[in-house]
Chains A and B, each alone.
Chain A
């Protein structure tokens, strides 16, 4: 689907006006600090109920506002659907998700709109904490297999229960034999995640190589080393786990490393190279999504700057599947010109207020 309109309320500094978008290319311009990234973030929030900049959703609320709300109109083959996501702060912390005015579950909601985002914050994929890297894989798997999110939730629940039991055993409140049932369930739930993550890591790595070769970029040998923390023979590690009071193996301990020429990518690549690698990874994810579903997707490209190879970026954008809707931000006019190939709309952001130009050829 394509996002045709968006209405943010109390979302950072954005004004609560309805904003209408171009079906394929939207270029967001304006000076720094005016709210360009906020607009992309609001779109991302509408699709995922999360931010791509920060794991702390509290920061997206306008200062002093108790709630945040974003509504959007999606279009697919001429049929329009409205979706909205609302969050409350404070004690209630309610989340209300709706499709066409009806409340829906998170799983159903996330299915409505597919979004892929590139921003400098995404460099965390290469150099960030392990959970950041696992999230990279998890989001990717979920984009091609929506049932994965529920499997992930299920695993997390089993893990929590099992950790609580390890606590109780270590305190002498329960017998170690009770672990048997939870061990079985943990092993099964873990295997599902491991299989999905391994398959996706291999696919994304292969697709990255294909896209990079096509564009002649020089970092060709990026390898993704996915090392699952396998749940094997829990009987042997039982004593250690009771002592540690947490489960010592499983998907929560998987590691992912990106290397080039056999060395960690974050150590040998320059800042610009890292940005390009992450950008290519994003295009690889988008490509995998496209091969799986005949669905248009939304692609967010935050802060196009001098460190990105403009020629390659232009080519990547030109070769996107025709149904992809792009939103790109830049503070510099010459990058904006480079992005503006073909029919597009300019969105000028000034102090949180967005004004659109007529569509340009």
Chain B
């Protein structure tokens, strides 16, 4: 039998996304083997993230300063807003270093099956930001699945009466990959969105 404190740690770890029973017990035994200092810094890091991180009042990004570093950066173009479903999507777009606008995190996507409606995601905040003026373009970067697409359509409808250009991220082939690895739908979308060269 596993000792109760150890079993407790394993149980807590299995609550994390992507961690099953086996990974959880491997992690738990690893923590057990390492010096106390390491366990303490892990525990502190977890607690600190909960006490020091909050949502930016402008864009809903996770931040420890108000407003967040992106909203506060004078070099960024606040007239272009990129809309994403979750805060971690920002990191993916930031990696490109190509996007110099700002973000808006919806905190989810429309899904009647899960009972998620427009009042449960932050479209309101987005509309308010656009209404306050100085926004030229809204780039909708929700996921290319059924829910993300409906959310994009909903946002476009909400912004229609406002003086702003609304665009959707393009669908297509991953750059640097081989054509043979593209799935059929991606390939069809890429064909649909082809350009003259």
Task: Map CB proximity to B onto A185-196 as digits: 1 under 8 Å, 0 otherwise.
Answer: 100000000000
- Give bound CA distance, A161 to B113, whole Å: 6
> Do the beta carbons of A107 and B183 come within 8 Å of each other?
yes
Closest Cβ of chain A to B189, distance in Å, is 10
Which residue from A151, A168, A181 sits with its C-beta under 8 Å from B185?
A151
| Number of residues on chain B facing chain A (CB within 8 A) | 21
> Do the beta carbons of A168 and B117 come within 8 Å of each other?
yes
Which residue from A150, A157, A165, A180 sits with its C-beta under 8 Å from B157?
A180
Closest Cβ of chain A to B143, distance in Å, is 13
Asked whether any CB of chain B lies closer than 8 Å to the CB of A267, the reply is no
Closest Cβ of chain B to A358, distance in Å, is 40
Binds A, one of B63-71, B129-137, B147-155, B161-169: B147-155
- Give bound CA distance, A191 to B117, whole Å: 26
Mark out the residues of chain B between 37 and 80 whose CB falls within 8 Å of any chain A CB in the assembled complex.
Answer: none
Report A-chain residues with C-beta under 8 Å of the C-beta of B151: 181
> Do the beta carbons of A107 and B184 come within 8 Å of each other?
yes
Closest Cβ of chain A to B72, distance in Å, is 33
Asked whether any CB of chain A lies closer than 8 Å to the CB of B17, the reply is no
Which residue from A150, A158, A162, A174 sits with its C-beta under 8 Å from B117?
A174
Q: Interface of chain B, helix or strand or loop or mixed?
A: helix
Q: Interface of chain A, helix or strand or loop or mixed?
A: helix
Smallest CB gap from A156: residue in B:
B146
Closest Cβ of chain A to B79, distance in Å, is 25
Asked whether any CB of chain B lies closer than 8 Å to the CB of A154, the reply is yes
> Do the beta carbons of B154 and A180 come within 8 Å of each other?
yes
Asked whether any CB of chain A lies closer than 8 Å to the CB of B35, the reply is no
> Do the beta carbons of B117 and A161 come within 8 Å of each other?
no
Smallest CB gap from B154: residue in A:
A181
- Give bound CA distance, A108 to B151, whole Å: 28
> Do the beta carbons of A147 and B146 come within 8 Å of each other?
no
> Do the beta carbons of A185 and B188 come within 8 Å of each other?
no
Asked whether any CB of chain A lies closer than 8 Å to the CB of B125, the reply is no
Closest Cβ of chain A to B115, distance in Å, is 7
- Give bound CA distance, A181 to B155, whole Å: 9
> Do the beta carbons of A161 and B185 come within 8 Å of each other?
no
Which residue from A174, A178, A185 sits with its C-beta under 8 Å from B146?
A185
> Do the beta carbons of B185 and A184 come within 8 Å of each other?
no
Smallest CB gap from B157: residue in A:
A180
Mark out the residues of chain B between 152 and 197 whose CB falls within 8 Å of any chain A CB in the assembled complex.
Answer: 153-154, 157, 183-185, 187-188
Category for how many chain A residues contact B: 20 to 34
Closest Cβ of chain B to A254, distance in Å, is 20
> Do the beta carbons of A165 and B112 come within 8 Å of each other?
yes
> Do the beta carbons of B112 and A181 come within 8 Å of each other?
no
Q: Which of A151, A167, A180 has the most CB of B within 10 A?
A: A180
- Give bound CA distance, A352 to B151, whole Å: 53
> Do the beta carbons of B185 and A150 come within 8 Å of each other?
yes
- Give bound CA distance, A198 to B145, whole Å: 26
Task: Map CB proximity to B onto A87-117 as digits: 1 under 8 Å, 0 otherwise.
Answer: 0000000000000000001011000000000
Mark out the residues of chain A between 143 and 171 whose CB falls within 8 Å of any chain B CB in the assembled complex.
Answer: 146-147, 150-151, 154, 157-158, 160-162, 164-165, 167-168
Asked whether any CB of chain B lies closer than 8 Å to the CB of A182, the reply is yes
Report B-chain residues with C-beta under 8 Å of the C-beta of A181: 110, 150-151, 153-154, 157
Which residue from A146, A150, A151, A162 sits with its C-beta under 8 Å from B112?
A162
> Do the beta carbons of B154 and A161 come within 8 Å of each other?
no
Report B-chain residues with C-beta under 8 Å of the C-beta of A180: 153-154, 157
Asked whether any CB of chain A lies closer than 8 Å to the CB of B118, the reply is yes
> Do the beta carbons of B146 and A154 come within 8 Å of each other?
yes
A sample of 10 cross-chain residue pairs with beta-carbon separation below 8 angstroms, ordered by A number, consists of A107-B184, A146-B184, A157-B145, A158-B146, A160-B113, A164-B113, A168-B115, A180-B153, A185-B150, A185-B153
B-side residues, CB < 8 A to A, are 110-113, 115, 117-118, 145-147, 149-151, 153-154, 157, 183-185, 187-188
